[in-house]
Amino acid sequence: MSLEENKPLRVAREDTSEAENRLIEAVQEGDKKAFGQLVRKHQKRLFRFVYGLTSSFDQTEDIVQDAFVRAYKAIGTFRLGLQFYPWLATIARNLAYNQISREDKKESLDKISEKGFDPPSGELGPLEQLLDSEGQKRFYVALNALPAKYRTVFILRHFEDMDYNQIAAYLKIPPGTVDSRLHRARKMMVEALKDLLPE
């Protein structure tokens, strides 16, 4: 599996707030409670992002926890003025890609159902209309079946709400490549789910 080089980047959908900057400064000065606030602020969004990459509840839990641990250990290297979430998400994405490289097996629908995970739908246009539980499971199975390079752009666009230029900068690929990969990802998703989509 060919994966893009992953390094911390500036890109995000919203400007870093002064409040978050103050939290990061406090963490850099040894305030563990401040880091706890950062965790609470970003954990749900990070969980959704990683789950989209792995489609495994257990793996996602482990990766998200590991990402926060690594971020805490490396927080001294974080440059104030950059955006925290993309830096954190890059750590998590690298961990997820490492996991994907080590394990090709996917978690069964039964396991996902047993864990009772109800992932958020995101703004996915007609794909968002898969509201029943079986349709939602099918959606995540189809998403996980996409090759990593297509799955990543799909998640960044629809789950993270990044625009094409942000995705291009984040993945270090041309915007045209983002466009073609996203088009291909959507086409594969629609093909996989065509029996569930409205006419």
| pLDDT per position as a tens digit, 119-160 | 444 444 444 444 345 667 788 888 888 888 899 899 888 888
Question: Do 18 and 110 fall into the same domain?
Answer: yes
pLDDT level of residue 198 (50, 70, 90 thresholds): low
CA dist 60 and 121 (Å) reads 17
pLDDT level of residue 102 (50, 70, 90 thresholds): low
Q: Is residue 31 part of a domain?
A: yes
The pLDDT of residue 139: 82
Question: Do 34 and 78 fall into the same domain?
Answer: yes
**Which residue type, as a one-letter code, is found at position 23?**
L
Q: Is residue 171 part of a domain?
A: yes
Q: Which domain holds residue 149?
A: 121-199
- Which of 55, 89, 115 corresponds to the end of one domain? 115
Cα 132 to its chain centre, rounded Å, is 23
Q: Is residue 1 part of a domain?
A: no
- Which of 115, 138, 165 corresponds to the end of one domain? 115
Listed residue (128, 133, 106) closest to 118, CA to CA: 133
**pTM for the predicted model, two decimal places:** 0.59
Question: Do 99 and 196 fall into the same domain?
Answer: no
- Which of 86, 115, 144 corresponds to the end of one domain? 115
pLDDT level of residue 83 (50, 70, 90 thresholds): confident
Question: Do 128 and 189 fall into the same domain?
Answer: yes
- CB-based contacts of 193: which residues, under 8 Å, 6+ apart? 127, 130, 135, 138, 139, 142
Question: Do 127 and 111 fall into the same domain?
Answer: no
Check which CATH number belongs to the domain holding 47 and give it: 1.10.1740.10
Q: Is residue 55 part of a domain?
A: yes
Higher pLDDT, 57 or 28: 28
Question: Do 145 and 184 fall into the same domain?
Answer: yes
